[in-house]
Each structure stands twice: as C-alpha cells, then as structure tokens.
Chains A and B, each alone.
Chain A
Amino acid sequence: MVKHDFQLHPAQVGQRIILPTSFRGSPCFMMQTYQDAMAIVQSKGIPNVFLTFTCNPNWQEIITELKPNQTASDRLDLVARVFQMKVKALLKGVAKIGWSAKVIGNIWTREY
C-alpha cells in the first residue's frame, strides 16, 4: 500500500520511539550486548569462571591520598581511578593464573 501511494509523507508511516543500541545502557544496547556475549559462548564454549570483584574503599592506595577529614565517598574520582587500575590488574592476573590454560574469551561489565 505504502509503496504505490507516493502522496504519502514518510513522517506519516508511523513511529516507534526507542533509544538505539548506540546509546549506552539503553534496553536495546543491553539486549544486543547480551546476545553478542551469548554468541561468544556459542563459539568458545561455556565459561569456566564467574568472578565478581568489589571495590574496597579502605584500600591503601585510596586512604593515603585522602585529605584530612575526607572519606572515600567524598573522593569518588579517586576511587574510580584506583578501581580501574585494579580491574586492569585483575584481568591480567586471571590470565596469569590460568586456571586451566590460555584465556580464550572473556566478558565483563560494571555494576554500581
């Protein structure tokens, strides 16, 4: 019907408003990333290890940088940077221990 009625304006076709997958954290984005991850499972096999890593606000690296009377929750910029470094080290560390052998795939996300 649409094809032959060229008087019709494209804006009249109908709209469904969604946040696209290019918007981080949108439902579409999450669904897509989830499916990508399942595709990895399909080709590489089920994961061997499930690991959660929680930030510790009492880490020496954070405590020593605090100004007097500050707590870690006052300096989230600091916490974020330290945690980022630890995450990187953790990913390297996991590869190094190599529970079985070589790491052939991994997925991770952050939760707040």
Chain B
Amino acid sequence: MSVELLLPENTPLFEMVTKCLLHGPCGQEYPNAPCMVNGLCKKRYPRTFSKEITQGEDGYPVYRRRNDGRTFQKTLDGFAYNNQWVVPHNPYLTKMFNAHINVEVSAGIRSVKYLFKYVYKGPDRVTAVITGPINEIRQYIDARYLSTAEGVDSLLLFKKHMEWPLATQLVVHLLRQHNVNFNENENLAAMVKRAAHQKTTLTAYFAYNAQNANGRNVVYADFLIMFGKFKKKFGQLDNEEKKLLGECILYILLLVNVSSSASYLLSYRARPLSNISGLLTT
C-alpha cells in the first residue's frame, strides 16, 4: 500500500503512478474540476499530510503521507503534485496492470455497509420525457440506462458480479404464512390445498429434526453447512448412497413441492429421510 511518490523519476512504475494515480488538480483554484461540489472536492483531495497511519473518523484509515517536499509536474496541466494528491494504490498491482487501481484498507464496520451499498447500487437510470404529436400528452419513462460497454459485456456473457463463498437464502415465516406462487388461472380451492402442503427450508429443517437427532444441536443458519460437509464426501459414495444423499439435500434445499403431510405438524412421512439418517451419522 502506498500513497506517496517514492520512486525515482523515469522508472516505469513512477510513470504509471503519475499517469493513473494522481487525483486532480482540483480545489479552489480549479472550480470546474469534475469532482468539485460546493467548492470542495467530493473525494476529499488534497488530503492532509500525516506522519503515520491512523484510523479516520469515517471508518476509512488515514494513510501515511509525509510532507517530504517532493513534487511532480505534469506537462499536461503544469500543476505541481505532491503526496497530498496520490490515490492509495498497491505498487505491485499498478505495475502488473498499468491502470488506475485504487486500493483501500477497509477497516471498521461502518465502512463495510456503506461499501456494499455502493457496490450493489444497481444500474444507471434515466428519466425521459416523450413528447407526442399533441404537446399536452407527455409520457414519463423511468428507464435503465445501458452503456455500450455494458451491452457488450452482456452479449459476451461475462460475469457482472460474484460472491464467494456461496450464500443460500433460508426463509423465515410463521405457521402457514409462507410465500405461495400461483398462476392466475388456477383453481383457488386447489391452490389453497396445495399451499397448505408446500414445504420450505424452515419446515424441512423442523421435519428433519423431528426424525433425526444428529441435527438438533445445529442452529437453522448452520444447518446447510452441516450438509455441505457430507457433500464433500460425495465422491466416495456408491450410487445408492449418492441417490439417497442427493434426495436428502433436495429435501433440505427444498424449493420442491412434494405432497406429503403438513409442515408444522412434524409428521414427515417421506421415505428417504429415515434411511438417510444412518448414512449421515457415519
């Protein structure tokens, strides 16, 4: 991690840093800079000098920016940059990719939530007004804005996000208050009947514990992890066992509608679970 101009001039890395990782110029002398809002830089440049790393008030760290008197003048704008203008970066990554790579050490819980909100803020939107042949008729459209770059990424099927390790959703609901999907042409009586027997991850958790003792010391949130461990052994199982375990995981992940007795009554008639319990305890 570096936020200083350290290397001698004319080295490739120094050139990359000065090209990609200097902010500005902005401030009072440059009110037209893109980052200026109400006379201040919204990215808080120029940063103040700091002799050592400290924890900032907003959750971000304040990095070491020594006032060593070093400046760098860009031929483009003639502005003399010093350590106050350097964007936090990692020299290894900058050299590897020759690009603007901003690296922040994220410390403190406050910044985490903000950061994730920022990351998942969704696509750009645009509000458009369509004026028809009659001027009085106006239609407002709140539309997604897709840039060409985004379009190309979609066409080439590139991943747009990734979360690792995997997170699975477990539903929480009161008795007979789970979500029910239905078709609008469906018979209502049949629908209500079907909904009463529908299983969810929660009811499956109850049902498993009613039948088996080995999951009773595991809380709901950790229940799938318990099964994940068995999944690792999957390769060593024979076909019959695989089938049983596969069925069991299906029951637990359950988004499957299998008709059997009601969920909260815990009288789970399903055949596989009793057979599998032996397998799981080994």
What residues of B have a CB within 8 angstroms of the CB of A33 in the complex?
120, 161, 163
Contact A41 B158, CB 8 Å, known A59-B99, A80-B149, A112-B149: no
Point out the residue from A8, A38, A56, A104 that lies within 8 Å of B188, measured CB to CB: A8
Contact in complex: A76, B149 (CB < 8 Å): yes
What residues of A have a CB within 8 angstroms of the CB of B90 in the complex?
97
Point out the residue from A27, A54, A109 that lies within 8 Å of B119, measured CB to CB: A109
Point out the residue from B111, B160, B183 that lies within 8 Å of A109, measured CB to CB: B160
What residues of A have a CB within 8 angstroms of the CB of B149 in the complex?
76, 79-80, 112
Contact in complex: A80, B167 (CB < 8 Å): no
Interface flag for A67 (CB, 8 Å): no
Interface flag for A65 (CB, 8 Å): no
Interface flag for A107 (CB, 8 Å): yes
Contact A107 B113, CB 8 Å, known A9-B188, A97-B92: no
Contact in complex: B100, A54 (CB < 8 Å): yes
1/0 contact trace for B143-177 toward A, CB 8 Å? 01001111011001010111111010100000000
**Shortest Cβ distance from A38 into B: residue:** B116
Contact A93 B106, CB 8 Å, known A50-B115, A105-B165, A110-B161: no
Contact in complex: B165, A44 (CB < 8 Å): yes
Contact in complex: B121, A76 (CB < 8 Å): no
Give the number of residues in B that approach A within 8 Å (Cβ atoms). Answer: 56
**Shortest Cβ distance from A108 into B: residue:** B162
1/0 contact trace for B188-215 toward A, CB 8 Å? 1101100000000000000000000000
Interface flag for A71 (CB, 8 Å): no
B32 to chain A, nearest CB (A): 22
**Shortest Cβ distance from B104 into A: residue:** A50
Contact in complex: B105, A77 (CB < 8 Å): no
Point out the residue from B99, B165, B189 that lies within 8 Å of A86, measured CB to CB: B99
What residues of A have a CB within 8 angstroms of the CB of B100 in the complex?
52-54, 56
Contact A52 B167, CB 8 Å, known A76-B148, A79-B149, A107-B119: no
Contact in complex: B109, A46 (CB < 8 Å): yes
1/0 contact trace for B107-144 toward A, CB 8 Å? 11101110111011111100000000000000000001
A51 to B102, CA, bound (A): 6
What residues of A have a CB within 8 angstroms of the CB of B20 in the complex?
56
Contact in complex: A30, B120 (CB < 8 Å): yes
1/0 contact trace for A39-77 toward B, CB 8 Å? 111001011111111111001000000000000000011
What residues of B have a CB within 8 angstroms of the CB of A80 in the complex?
149, 152-153, 156, 158
Contact A40 B163, CB 8 Å, known A10-B184, A34-B116, A80-B152: yes
What residues of B have a CB within 8 angstroms of the CB of A51 in the complex?
93, 101-104
**Shortest Cβ distance from B101 into A: residue:** A53
Contact in complex: B158, A84 (CB < 8 Å): yes
Contact in complex: B120, A3 (CB < 8 Å): no
Point out the residue from B117, B165, B183 that lies within 8 Å of A34, measured CB to CB: B117
Contact in complex: A47, B184 (CB < 8 Å): no
A34 to chain B, nearest CB (A): 4
Interface flag for B186 (CB, 8 Å): yes
Contact in complex: A53, B99 (CB < 8 Å): yes
Interface flag for B2 (CB, 8 Å): no
A-side interface residues toward B, CB under 8 Å?
2-3, 6, 8-11, 24-27, 30-34, 36-41, 44, 46-56, 59, 76-77, 79-81, 84, 86, 89-90, 93-94, 97, 104-110, 112
Q: List 15 contacting pairs A-B, 8 Å CB cutoff, sorted by A.
A: A2-B188, A6-B188, A11-B185, A24-B160, A47-B115, A49-B103, A50-B105, A50-B106, A51-B102, A54-B102, A107-B116, A107-B162, A109-B161, A112-B124, A112-B149
